[in-house]
Amino acid sequence: MKTKELFARFLPYFKKYKWLVALDLLCASLTIVCEIVLPLIVSFITDTGANNIEALTVELILRLGALYLVLRIVNTAATYFMTSVGHIVGARIETDMRRDLFNHLNKLSFAFFNNTKVGQIMARITSDLFEITEFAHHCPEEFLIAFLKFVISFIILAGMNFWLTVIIFITVPLMAWAANRFNRKMQAGWRITRNQIGEVNAQVEDSLLGMRVVKSFANERIEAEKFDNGNERILSVRRKIYKAMGGMTATVQVFDGLMYLLVLVVGSLFMINGQVSPGELVAYLLYANMLLASIRRIVEFAEQFQRGMTGIERFCELMDAPVDIEDAPDAVELTDVKGDIKFDHVGFSYPDDSTTKVLADIVLHVRPGEHVALVGPSGAGKTTLTNLIPRFYEVDQGRILIDNQDIRQVTLHSLRTNIGIVQQDVYLFTGSVADNIEYGKPGASRDEIIAAAKQANAHDFIMELPDGYDTYIGERGVRLSGGQKQRLSIARVFLKNPPIIILDEATSALDNESERVVQGSLEKLADGRTTFTIAHRLTTVQKATTIWVLTKDGIVEEGNHEELLAKKGIYYHLYYA
């Protein structure tokens, strides 16, 4: 994206704090008053002393000193405001952007997360946005200060001697042109660096979350090598960035010396010819020093500027990720759900592989309170079919109806509120046992949490934990067994109390004893609710009202356990296999 486009996308965040930003810029303007006035005072004293020493009285010097003191006090107050409130404004902008980014991520479909590394997302939502904070605070200040110094210096010096001023200032655009060439290299380098940092974050996250696998295979060295490779790539790119930065700094140093040389040589020649007074020559030197100091600050800020622009660009890339699934403009609330579900000639293929049809012309009808099971070979689309009900993915063809309402015409929140899901891969959040159960119904009382745990056959093992319901379970519930984690996830759904339940391989990863306990919990959970069960262990679906056998050809068999065994078809062979 072009710099102009990035500024246009960033500007709305500034507008929210426009008065604070305006006050910050006013203070930035006040900080240059001392620097602008000092050369004038020195020039005045020098010329007065050289031309008429008697006119340079003690009273006059004290007045000028008092004026400069007042300006210094104003400068101090303005600097304090810039440093404190200015940074706070930058932090507020960062907070707003991070909130918008996180809210946008929550709206994105599973398709996005299937193709995006979490480490890349984390880099953009943390370190990238921090760079934007510094950019947001310093960018307007630095450019305003440099602009004012440049314009005011030019006006004052041109008033003293126009041609000397033109000769000196002609080096500035040349300096800017040369610096811009290096600046572009830096911007490209920072873009690559931020992306590579995201890759390293993703690799570190992968290694740390899979640490048990790493250690069990004794592959610490391999993980270290992968990390070193990514780390070295960051270093390689940064070498190029800092070489460009060195070239820019050296270029500025060359023009520094050239400007001072012009002031000394040309200014002295003008003074010999009487076109410039000694005081004015001193003022020229002081203003040249001030101008060069300002340019040096801009050059030093260039690195921060490029990091900030890269951060904004990466922020925009994520914010521009399309929301595939959202509420229709006329969407209504789904209420008083009975659980009547129909698949009306449903077809589906994944967005990143639209040529491969996962489901085609699926026609199903599940009545309220009915318990249906989906069985069949892996890859047949069983989980995909159930993922279409809460609109984790959008159907390509046909429609899905709940209580005769097209799910695309109801709000996502009301749809998903009425559906409970228990998966094979249980995800528990860092926190306590109670926190994880309460996730099913935020704000639930402790009595409600305990009641849900009892229904899920989890209460007894919870009470044996060191702190009961307040026991810290570690990241992803690492301190619990598979069966315990599964029962907590079931308790969470009990607390939610939805009319529709989806059980996706909920017991396949458990041992026989854990499976027996969890299966009992699942049967209680399914009682009186419309339930979909996906299973490879066919012993867990024998009590289902209807069993559908799903293959790549669609639903090929339908019936209860006894009926399907009697047919001696695919289900029969799966069961006895």
Domains of the chain, start order: 3-319 (1.20.1560.10), 341-576 (3.40.50.300)
pLDDT at 181 over 80: no
Of the pLDDT bands very low, low, confident and very high (cuts 50, 70, 90), residue 79 is confident
Q: What DSSP letter does each residue of 76-98 carry, written as one string?
A: HHHHHHHHHHHHHHHHHHHHHHH
DSSP 8-state class, residue 460: H
pLDDT in tens, 324-381: 888 889 999 988 989 999 999 999 988 777 667 888 888 999 999 998 999 888 888 8
pLDDT value at residue 303: 66
Q: What is the average pLDDT across 471-490?
A: 83
pLDDT at 15 over 90: no
Half-sphere exposure of 113 (CA within 13 A, CB side): 11
Are 45 and 38 in contact by the 8 Å Cβ rule? The answer is no
Q: What is the average pLDDT across 516-526?
A: 77
Q: Which of 148-157, 432-441, 505-514, 556-565 has the lowest mean pLDDT?
A: 505-514
475: tokens are 């990241």
pLDDT at 173 over 80: no
Single out the residue of 364, 334, 350, 421 nearest to residue 554, CA to CA: 364
Q: What is the average pLDDT across 546-560?
A: 87
Q: What is the average pLDDT across 256-274?
A: 81
pLDDT value at residue 409: 93
Q: Which of 33-37, 225-229, 398-402 has the lowest mean pLDDT?
A: 33-37
pLDDT value at residue 313: 85
Largest Cα–Cα separation, the chain: 124
Q: Distance between CA atoms of 283 and 40, rounded to whole angstroms?
A: 7
**pTM score of the predicted model:** 0.74
- What is the three-class DSSP state of 5? helix
Of the pLDDT bands very low, low, confident and very high (cuts 50, 70, 90), residue 402 is very high
Q: What is the average pLDDT across 48-53?
A: 73
pLDDT at 536 over 80: no
Q: Distance between CA atoms of 575 and 426, rounded to whole angstroms?
A: 26
Q: Distance between CA atoms of 28 and 34, rounded to whole angstroms?
A: 12
